[in-house]
Every structure is written in structure tokens, then in C-alpha cells.
Structure 1
Amino acid sequence: MFTGIVTDVGVVLETEQRGDLRIRIGTRYEPDGIDMGASICCDGVCLTVVDKGKSAPENDGGWFDVEASAETLSKTTLGGWAPGRRINLERALKVGDELGGHIVSGHVDGLAKVVEIVDDGDSTRITFEAPEALAPFIASKGSVALNGTSLTVNDVMDRRFGVNLIPHTKEVTTWGDIVKGDDINLEIDTMARYVERLQSWNRWNKA
């Protein structure tokens, strides 16, 4: 589990198709502090560390390798990742850690598209379009995870919803790189999933 609070901005170093897609990510995380098999949220996608190592002596941090299955590639932006791409990273939540965002599973539901970016004072307002099947799960003043970042929804109109990014968020994440037309990994709020499941179960039992 994660909180949607980004703790590092990594960079894709290389990708290789080995049946599944293998991706090497450079990070400021100390490799000795990363366990093999650990989960790291990469742009909102929970991925398992399958290898790790130190960077060149002149660089801080190290690297870790992850693998993405065909199912993961079909639901996320990972298939388009190329060397040099910056990605939001978060280590898995530990018992006793501060929950600064909201509960994030790292299980991306689909892709939202950036349809508008406008300045709003010192902040930036971004409007997204959600897939039709996911739009009902997004509520005004609710939470969503977008590229692994916990954000509050300002407003919703049909399939479109907006969020505001303060300057700090843009500085410590990849949101300063986003442009109109980009696809974004979207995870709806976990509670919304269960509410819908309960409602559909009740409807089915009454039928």
C-alpha cells in the first residue's frame, strides 16, 4: 500500500522485452535499503523489484529493475516508457508511517487524458477526461491517484474532472513535465470501488 506522496523522481535508464517488459529505473534511494521483492510505486503502478545495484561512484543513489506483464501494459502508460523519462516514485507504506495522502494500492484502473492546462494564480489547474467506465467513481472533493500522486478533485462534469497543483507539487514530482494530450495513470479511490460493488450486489440480489 502507498499514500500518493511522491518521495523521489526516478528516471528510466533502459527497457528490454524479455517476454514481460523489464525496466531499469535510476533513483536516489539507497540500494542497500531496497529489499529484493519489495514493492515500489512507479508513476502510480505497484511494481516488484527483481534486481538492484549502485550507480557509478560519481552519482548518488542507485537503480532497480522491475518487470511489467502484458496486463499491466494494457492498463497503464508503461508500454510507452523510454530511457530518459522521469517518473514519480514512492516506497511502500510501513506500519506507523504518516498517511499524508490517501490509501493508494498501486493498481491502476485506466488512463485519463490531459485536456487542458491553465495557470490559476501560482497554481496550475489541469482538466482530465476519464474513461467512461471510471467516470462515475470520481467525485468532487474526493481523492484520486494520478501518476502516483494523491490529488483532490476540485470539480466534475460528465467525464471531465479538474485538480489544482501548487508549485511545491510540481517541483517535487513530474507534473511540471506534463503537456496537453498526455495519458495519465489513474487509480480511483479504493472506497469507491467497494461502494459500487456493494450497490451492484444489492441490485443483483433484488433482481
Structure 2
Amino acid sequence: MFTGIVESLGKVESLQNVGGDIRLRIQTDLDMSDVQLGDSIATNGICLTVIAWGNQWYEADVSLESIHRTTLSSWKVGQTVNVEKAMLPTTRFGGHIVSGHVDVVGEITVQRQDARSLYFEVTAPPEIAKYLAEKGSITVDGISLTINHLRGNVLSLNLIPHTAERTNISTWKVGTRVNLEVDVLARYIERLLLGDKAAEHKPESKLSMEFLAQNGFLR
């Protein structure tokens, strides 16, 4: 679990196709002294499992499901990403409960200065609108943020100068695609409301041969 309070910035050092999925290497000044094999590090909001690491880098394998659900399929070498190690029981809980399991990809549709803060509007896929609430929490590229206003599936955010300095939002612009994770409690409440029908609910996978071909996994 994570808090959505970004600890450091990283850069994509390499993206290697391994057996059809991706092995990712991130360069970062994150303190890696207490990292062990199998630890989780949120990378732009994606929970990744560490398979190798050094003083200023770590590697992780990324499954097709994660590639499909997130912006990772469009990442480039040199891209800046937000990183956060998994929280400890003694960690000050400054954000909200973040699992690192990205729900959908949204798009920045408005960006402007708002006094000293930066104002953004993010258009989310309509299917997650039911999980969003004004003054509720959402994770955007691994950053725990408060939804200021909500208009259907369009949410507005204000980011203070401190957040701008500590994260990669300087790279955001109109058209930027971002990873979105809704509040974990909303997902469980929906599932509970299905009651006994939950066992009958079998959504189809959105993975397709077309998607795999478009992202270089088929030749």
C-alpha cells in the first residue's frame, strides 16, 4: 500500500521487451538502502515489484495487464516518473490509501495558472464517474489529490507549488494521458452492493489481438 505522497522523481532508463511483456529500469535518487527483492515501488502510480536494484536504480517486470491498463505502453526512455516506496506501519499517513492498481487512463483537458497553484481538468473514462466525488480523493500518476469540483466525468484539481516541485506535473500539458486510481473503498462498496450476484458478474477482458499488435507484442 502507498499514500500517494511522492517521495522522489525517477527517469525511465530502459524498456526491454522480454518474452512479450516489458522489463523496466528506473533511475532515481530514492533511498534504496532498505529495499529488498520483491518490494513494491509505485511508479507513476503503478505498483511494481522490484526484481533487481542498486544505489540509484531498480528494475521491474510489467505484465500485459498493467501495460493495457496504464500509460506505460507510451513511455519513452528519459521520461520523468513519480516514485514512492510502499508505506510502513510507522509512516505518517499524509495522503490516502493507494493500492497502486491503476483503474483507467485519463487525459488532461485544461491547464492554467490559478494564483500560485496550477489548475488542471482531467477527463476520465465515463465508467469510473460513479466512483468520483467532490472533495474525495483520487490518485493521478501516483499523486494523492483532492477533487475540487466534478462535472460528470470531468474532475478539476489544484496543485500547490510544493506538489509541483516534488512531482512530474511540470511535464503535464493538454493532451497528456495520466494514470487514475479511484478510492479503494468505492470499489469494494460497489462489489458489496452486488450481493449474491457478484459471483455471476463476469466482465470480459479488454485485451485483444489488435491491442497487442499496436503495442509491438505481436509481429
TM-score for both structures, normalised by structure 2: 0.87
Q: Distance in 1 between matches of 2:179 and 2:169?
A: 12
Q: Does 1:177 align with 2:171?
A: yes
For 1:102-149, what per-residue CA distance to the aligned partner results, in whole angstroms no more than 9, with x for missing partners?
Answer: 000000001011110011111111001111111110100000000000
The share of aligned pairs that are identical, in percent, is 39
Superposition deviation, residue 202 in structure 1: 7.5
* Distance in structure 2 (CA, Å) of the matches to 1:118 and 1:202: 47
Which residue number in structure 1 is paired with residue 209 of structure 2?
Answer: none
1:145 to 133, 139, 146: 139
Work out whether 1:111 is the aligned partner of 2:100: no
The counterpart of 2:88, out of the listed 86, 94, 103, is 94
Give distance in 1, aligned partners of 2:196 and 2:165: 45
| Distance in 2 of aligned mates of 1:95 and 1:110 | 28
TM-score (norm 1): 0.92
Q: Does 1:186 align with 2:177?
A: no
Question: What's the counterpart of residue 40 of structure 2?
Answer: 39
Question: Superposition RMSD on alpha carbons, in Å?
Answer: 1.5
The superposition leaves residues 20-54 of structure 1 with CA deviations (integer Å, 9 ceiling, x where unpaired) of: 20011001124432111110000000000011124
Q: Distance in 2 between matches of 1:188 and 1:47?
A: 18
What residue ranges of structure 2 are gaps of 5+ in the alignment?
A: 199-219
Q: Does 1:64 align with 2:65?
A: no
Give the structure 1 partner of residue 13 of structure 2.
13
Q: Secondary structure at the match of 2:127?
A: coil
Aligned to 1:135: 129
1:198 Cα shift?
A: 2.2
Distance 1:144 1:30 in 2: 26
Residue type of the alignment partner of 1:184:
V
SS in 1 for 2:126: coil
After TM superposition, where is structure 1 displaced by more than 2 Å over at least 4 residues in a row? 29-33, 198-204
Give the counterpart of 1:200 among 169, 186, 194: 194
Please state whether the residue corresponding to 1:36 is helix, strand or coil: coil
Contact map agreement 2:7 2:30 (CA 8 A) in 1? no
Q: For residues 164-184 of structure 1, give each alpha carbon's deviation from its aligned partner in whole angstroms, at most 9, with x where no partner exists.
A: 001110100001110101110
SS in 2 for 1:48: strand
Amino acid at match of 1:153: I
